[in-house]
Structure 1
Amino acid sequence: MSFPSPPPARCLALLPLALALAGPMLSVGTAHAQAAPAVTPSSSHRYDIPAGPLNVVLARVAAVSGVLLAAAPAQVEGRSSPGVQGTFAPAAALDRALAGTGLSARADAWGQFRLIEGSGAAVARLSAITVIGTGSATGLPPAYAGGQVAQGGRLGMLGDRDNLDTAFSVTQYTAQRIEETQAQAIGDILMDDPSVRNTYARGAGRDEFNIRGFQLYNYDVSFNGLYGITPRNASSLIGVERVEVLRGPSALLNGMAPYGSLGGAINLVPKRAGPTPLNRLTLSYIGKSQVGAHADIGRRFGENQAWGVRVNALGQNGDMVVKGGRERLGALALGVDYQGERARMAVDVNYQDRVTHARSGLLLTPESGIGIPPAPDARHTFFPDWTYWDAKDASGTVRGEFDLTPDWTLYAAAGTRRHDFKSLQTTFLMLDDAGGIGTNPSALNESLTSVTGEVGLRGRFRTGPLQHEPVLSVSGLGVDYHARRVRTTTVFSDLYDPVAIARPDIRISGPLPLATENRLRSVALADTISFADGRVQLTAGLRHQHVEVSSFDAASGDRTSRYAESAVTPAVALVLRPTDRLSFYGNFIQGLNQGATAPSTATNAGEVFPPEVSRQREVGIKYDAGRVAATLSAFEITRPSSYLQPSSLRFVVDGRQRNRGLELLVQGEPLPGVRLLGGAAYTDARLVRTAGGLNDGNQAPAVSRLQFNASAEWDTPFLEGLTLTARVLRTGRQYVDVANTQSIPGWTRVDIGARYAFDAGGTPMVVRATIENVLNKTYWQSAAREGLTVGAPITALLSVSAEF
């Protein structure tokens, strides 16, 4: 529960008119606006609005389309509307709603309309106006019931789509959910997703995810639709409005992920200034003594509030809950946007400086056949307190759109990022089943520069009964990676009783040598064909992808390997909507992925393998009951299998991994003040066509058969503003090695929390408290990345937010 910012004085005089115009619908729309910004006003949406009073119908059109509609109460009083049925652009939907009323809607600015008498160009003189709808200059799909997730989101090159019109399994987590859960990084918000598991626990300074049984790295997360922009290790969420998750391969929609992530796609949507001025300050406390301050300021200005500025700044420092662990984080996110009648543009600048000491990291597993001992006490790390990661990331992007005609839009985006990293680290190897471990302490310095861009054309036309929405996209990404690593001799310790390892004297000086060059280029063409009033939607397309990767010798600078591969990969997706609340979907998508790269822990570290072809087949059902929505899907994904051999520590590609699964996702607010989010995922991950058939039929490592998530919130009736929260996570057993001789047990985690929203002398405030892992369970969290990670111990999170 949160309070809106106090409205400007000039808006207070319009309140009686607003209530008279929109009646009960305005109160619903206004609450919706506080939960999330509106849908893109230039996109088409499906309407199921029956005939009724004109003010009610117009309010519902505005809520679905995301437009702002100005009108005088006298214009709509006593008039009726025939309603709106079907899929239309906002202007066409308003025309349907106003049919027979003697009124028409004139576009004043992008996403803004004004009612005028008749169909002429003259504007009615309005002595007073009010605004219908949930729109704002941010241009995003509205939040679903409860405000935790959205009704739709970006579907790559296809643009914004309503979830029921999307032939993939998708979820868009809102800024409201980010704030309410006190999420610090992407992994914190994805704990609500039953198809996703985090490789690392809180405090690792790094985000990696397992989606549908396949790894997705933080550096394969896109920012506002562009790859190569997000920080390499972990992304602060201070400047993020939405975290959009698409499960399964998405090569046609998004292009090739820079480092070959396959299980899904994650896109970060930046914050934009809304129509109401925002001044928010949040103070936070985590673990032992980690305190932070986050300022969020937003303004719109200019004619029709066409210009917007949103600034977020964060400072955070202190000891983490794990003994010896501490982190310092400074982050800045600046977003400037322009929303004109035919042109839209946005510029984003992000900077992040994160230093993590005694970070939770990977523990490499022993040879097959050696048992995996119980996890150590998570409160006492076995990593020396002198280990650290020091990462600085700076990026800038620009994205623009221009409407050539009402039906054709030209868009372009470009961005660049600089990553600088220094570290002193230990990656331990488990030597036996009694807790003996060893490591070669190392220093690693790296720098990375990426440049990315996309140009496209999106349109709409008809051929007889068929509505076409073609899209053409051309994209490119270049990444230059420089690195130098220095190792010392082997030292030994104990998992349960760590020894005091002396800090090694390792220094890296001079310029860093070029390690790899990546060049990705692609051209994609797709068309969504719909008919029967939008109840049948077929999307088909092709993407030509070209991958060029070169590796270089650190000493001589000579090129040691190079490959350049191209492929044309298809995709077909179908949506059937027999009713307005039910949709059936299916997709087949094939992608060319950059080949795996041997990790730094391998004896062949840095070796880049040839590109891989992956395939997905998926069918599903989506149902939206109005307050609760559910998605049930079945899928099969195949791709080459790669892993680190425990005996030789050599990274190899061997056979294929075939994941078949079922997913159930549930979201919404079934009762007033009761919000639910979660579901279950069953995944059967098998190895097939392995060398000599040795591991055929074995379970793939790091994939649990069953995952279950349930998150609930309850606005208590006995104290207004008080909300109680709870979350349960269940992850089944995971195999560690491809021979299936090693495994880690399943685990269950319980989180509880509360928040209290109140008004303090005219200042809206929210106090939040969460206890993660309230039972303080000790467990191995993941067996991904050919290593083990330990789950975080009981952790308290506190924050207080105020809006001035």
Structure 2
Amino acid sequence: MPTVSNQNKVLDVHRSRIHSVRLSVAAALVFTAWGSVRAQEGVLPDVQVKAQAELPGDLPQPYPDPDGQVARGAHLGVLGKTDVRDAPFSIISFTASTIQNSQARSVSEIIGQLDPSVREEYGDGTSLDSMMIRGFPVENDEMSLNGLPGILGQFRVSPEFVERAEVLKGPALLLNGMSPDGSVGGSVNVVSKRAGDVPLTSLNIGFASNSLWGFNADIGRRFGVDNAFGIRVNAGMRQGDLARDFVTDRARNASVGLDFTSTRLRASLDLIHQTETVYGAAGSVDLSRLGKSAPPALDGHRNFAQPWNYQDAEDSTVMGRVEFDLTERLTLFGAIGHSRNRSTAVVSDEPYLDAAGNFMFAAMPVRWRQQTTSSQLGLKGRVDTGPVRHDWSITASGLRRESSAVFDVGGLSGAAGYSNMYNMIVLPNPILVTDPMGPLVWNARSSLPGYALADTMSLADGKVLLTLGMRHQRVKSDSVTGYSLIGVVPTHYDQSVNSPMVAVVFKPTDQVSVYANHMQGLTMGDTAPYGTTNQGQVFAPYRTRQAEAGVKLDLGRFGGAVSVFQITRPYASIDPTTLTYGVFGEQRHRGLELNVFGEVTKGVRLLGGATFINATARDSASVTAQNTRPVGVARRQIALQGEWDLPAVQGLTLTARGTHSSSVYADNTNLVRVPGWTVYDLGLRYAMKAGGTPVTLRAGLKNASDKRYWRQGRYAASLGMPRTVALSSTFEF
């Protein structure tokens, strides 16, 4: 098999030429339209482009005006819609305008580049999304849709149907119930779009290097008496090559949001369908066995995956919600949602990289099927007991999931080989064969029913808010794993716990609020792995505890927050002496968060902040892993975006963003250090009218300095994406 050292040189030249031609064509198409529009209009009038004049339902208003980047509040599960100043937690809600202006491919990408507490694990050049919030993992399918967890896309959530992306920091077991994997660092709730009172017809056309084209149509209408009925339809696609070698993306999305509003009844129905096929993605490597610091990162165009590696995913979701006011102070509510996820892929486990850059890979076909049903039913109300006002709720929730995977470990011939990060070996397409052992199969069924009671008491004329709550959570799981022709090993799990919450808010002035909380999270306990003395033993649910305090400031058009927190959770490992698997330690994250948002001065806006985390893993069973730093957790994360409405050119906004992560470790013993990185993004957008039609043009340059860096996750590292150009035009008819 010949190497591709010469091929790499030819590829670099060929890629550079094609890249230049594609960018030239794209820029010509978008900015020729820009120039022609300006020529038609001459002097532009004072223009503001808005998708809709009013927000539907009980959606919190943007801050500080209708074009704000964040919202004044968020939906906090059993606590309902809550103003940021009244929330005893660290929360932020990104608006539809922020989502669209980001020109991102997924919800995770948007959050990861704007919230300093959040980092994408592997980045844009991979086939799946996964985040870390406050240093703990949050899987993509743990996001909630309108308050229901677990019913969105398995690998990626497209942003086209999203009105808000709400991020709550810390465990939220009481608020939303247990998510499928029990994320404890934070949670994300996606709010779907609804039709506003002003008719909306919007078309967005976009391009990203190397040749990724896409469009999306967004249509909203209300009708009936008092505009009681609404429909919002989104449909779009993207297709082409990314800025990384071999990576091709083909995605389709469609959604329909229906709603009905009357004096006492509010109902909604969402239908969401998305597909995505990615070739050449998931090119990550495992650095944990290097025994020394990671090697310098290569050009971000490089890909460690084979061109024939692929993933084909399809996600379908249906969700309904109903609220009925029994009286002015008593509301009955319920919601139910169902999702089906399936994928087929040819992927490799992350190969170990040695000191010379060599690695061995072996790909296999994988088939994945999953279906999830999530539901809520409850009562919420308000009652006064003397000078104290009570906002209370009683909620029953449940999540049922059935998952299955088939790994054809020996199902390909010619899918394994050796390669080198500096001199990639490209193999021809492998051939399907029959493995005499049969495939490795995994089937699982889980059920997460729970009941919650919460009461927020308003004291001292609303200056003090005290919230008390309790959730009873049951965790039930059954699974089988093994080779179909040899035999399978079953496991059974059925545990339950009670989880309390205490939180308080004190508002000494209208601009300042001080808060503190003690919350808990719950993660399904591990099963002792194969090869241990207690293999198959199922552990009780892991209880995570958080203590947090903070101060929030609201100056009318500019705000910020400072918070300190500590999160602790059990740490499981294998005792190297006895080979027994157990909970022998604790993982503790102590942190400080700084956040700013809003308009600093007229036409100048800031969004972002900094997070500092002192994370330690204490494993008493290992001499070399006591008081070490968890893999992939940075001590310092910064994300800050600025916008400037240029006074000299009406409608023109310049943007700049810096994202920084300090160094992390790739192994549990902290021998393999992965250097930190800082990436700068630049952009502009221009709002105008063309023949009476509002138009917004956007141009972005991501990783403007073409920084070379490693992005280290929990299990592996991938190269950061290279300099990427993104262009888009939005027309409001």
TM over 0.5: yes
> Within 2, Cα distance between the matches of 1:35 and 1:532?
40
- Which of 46, 57, 61 aligns to 1:142? It is 61
- Which of 573, 582, 598 aligns to 1:668? It is 598
Shift of residue 361, structure 1, vs aligned partner: 3.8
Shift of residue 360, structure 1, vs aligned partner: 3.5
Matched, 1:529 2:451: no
> Within 1, Cα distance between the matches of 2:439 and 2:616?
44
Shift of residue 670, structure 1, vs aligned partner: 1.5
Partner of 2:644: 714
Partner of 1:411: 333
Partner of 1:574: 504
Change (3 A) 1:337 1:733: same
- Which of 533, 538, 546 aligns to 2:474? It is 546
**Code of the aligned partner of 1:187:** S
> Within 2, Cα distance between the matches of 1:605 and 1:424?
29
Partner of 2:41: none
- Which of 703, 719, 726 aligns to 1:790? It is 719
> Within 1, Cα distance between the matches of 2:702 and 2:526?
34
> Within 1, Cα distance between the matches of 2:309 and 2:527?
25
Shift of residue 366, structure 1, vs aligned partner: 3.8
Which of 560-569 and 203-212 deviates more? 203-212
Which of 382-391 and 693-702 deviates more? 693-702
3-state SS, counterpart of residue 430 of structure 1: coil
Matched, 1:756 2:686: yes
Partner of 1:181: 102
Change (3 A) 1:792 1:402: same
Change (3 A) 1:187 1:596: farther
**Code of the aligned partner of 2:61:** P
- Which of 424, 427, 430 aligns to 1:504? It is 430
Instruction: Answer yes or no: is the 8 Å Cα contact 1:459–1:470 preserved in 2.
Output: yes
TM-score between the two structures when normalised by the length of structure 2: 0.88
Shift of residue 652, structure 1, vs aligned partner: 8.0
> Within 2, Cα distance between the matches of 1:689 and 1:185?
36
Change (3 A) 1:693 1:343: farther
Q: How does 1:350-499 map to 2 (within 5 A)?
A: 350-367=272-289, 369-488=291-410, 490-499=416-425
Partner of 1:95: none
Partner of 1:310: 232
Partner of 2:204: 282
- Which of 82, 88, 91 aligns to 1:161? It is 82
3-state SS, counterpart of residue 230 of structure 2: strand
Partner of 1:71: none
Instruction: Answer yes or no: is the 8 Å Cα contact 1:445–1:512 preserved in 2.
Output: no
RMSD (Å), alpha carbons: 2.6
> Within 2, Cα distance between the matches of 1:508 and 1:157?
51
Shift of residue 626, structure 1, vs aligned partner: 0.9
Shift of residue 673, structure 1, vs aligned partner: 1.2
Partner of 2:522: 592
Q: How does 1:615-634 map to 2 (within 5 A)?
A: 615-634=545-564
Instruction: Answer yes or no: is the 8 Å Cα contact 1:361–1:427 preserved in 2.
Output: no
Shift of residue 789, structure 1, vs aligned partner: 1.9
> Within 2, Cα distance between the matches of 1:642 and 1:350?
38
Structure 1: give runs of 5+ residues left out of the alignment. 1-29, 38-133
Matched length: 672
Partner of 1:171: 92
Instruction: Answer yes or no: is the 8 Å Cα contact 1:368–1:739 preserved in 2.
Output: no
Instruction: Answer yes or no: is the 8 Å Cα contact 2:290–2:355 preserved in 1.
Output: no
Shift of residue 188, structure 1, vs aligned partner: 2.2
**Code of the aligned partner of 1:529:** M
**Code of the aligned partner of 1:504:** P
Change (3 A) 1:651 1:189: farther
Change (3 A) 1:626 1:643: farther
3-state SS, counterpart of residue 363 of structure 1: coil
Change (3 A) 1:624 1:606: farther
Instruction: Answer yes or no: is the 8 Å Cα contact 2:294–2:675 preserved in 1.
Output: no
- Which of 223, 226, 238 aligns to 1:301? It is 223
Instruction: Answer yes or no: is the 8 Å Cα contact 1:749–1:777 preserved in 2.
Output: yes
> Within 1, Cα distance between the matches of 2:154 and 2:361?
24
Partner of 1:799: 728
Q: How does 1:609-620 map to 2 (within 5 A)?
A: 610-620=540-550
Shift of residue 596, structure 1, vs aligned partner: 5.1
Shift of residue 376, structure 1, vs aligned partner: 2.6
**Code of the aligned partner of 1:495:** M
**Code of the aligned partner of 1:152:** G
> Within 2, Cα distance between the matches of 1:773 and 1:183?
14
User: Deviations 1:717-756 (Å, cap 9, x if unpaired)?
Assistant: 1110111000001100101112111110010000000111
- Larger RCO: Structure 1 or Structure 2 (Cα < 8 Å, ≥ 6 residues apart)? 2
Partner of 2:495: 565
Partner of 2:16: none
Change (3 A) 1:567 1:632: same
Instruction: Answer yes or no: is the 8 Å Cα contact 1:428–1:437 preserved in 2.
Output: no
User: Deviations 1:405-425 (Å, cap 9, x if unpaired)?
Assistant: 000111000010011100001
3-state SS, counterpart of residue 188 of structure 1: helix
Shift of residue 715, structure 1, vs aligned partner: 0.6
> Within 2, Cα distance between the matches of 1:372 and 1:598?
31
> Within 2, Cα distance between the matches of 1:794 and 1:545?
46
> Within 1, Cα distance between the matches of 2:191 and 2:335?
14
3-state SS, counterpart of residue 263 of structure 2: coil
Instruction: Answer yes or no: is the 8 Å Cα contact 1:377–1:496 preserved in 2.
Output: no
Matched, 1:151 2:72: yes
Instruction: Answer yes or no: is the 8 Å Cα contact 1:36–1:147 preserved in 2.
Output: no
TM-score between the two structures when normalised by the length of structure 1: 0.80
Shift of residue 482, structure 1, vs aligned partner: 1.2
Partner of 2:448: 520
Instruction: Answer yes or no: is the 8 Å Cα contact 2:574–2:621 preserved in 1.
Output: no
Instruction: Answer yes or no: is the 8 Å Cα contact 2:51–2:200 preserved in 1.
Output: no
Instruction: Answer yes or no: is the 8 Å Cα contact 1:482–1:512 preserved in 2.
Output: no
> Within 2, Cα distance between the matches of 1:619 and 1:657?
20
3-state SS, counterpart of residue 482 of structure 1: strand
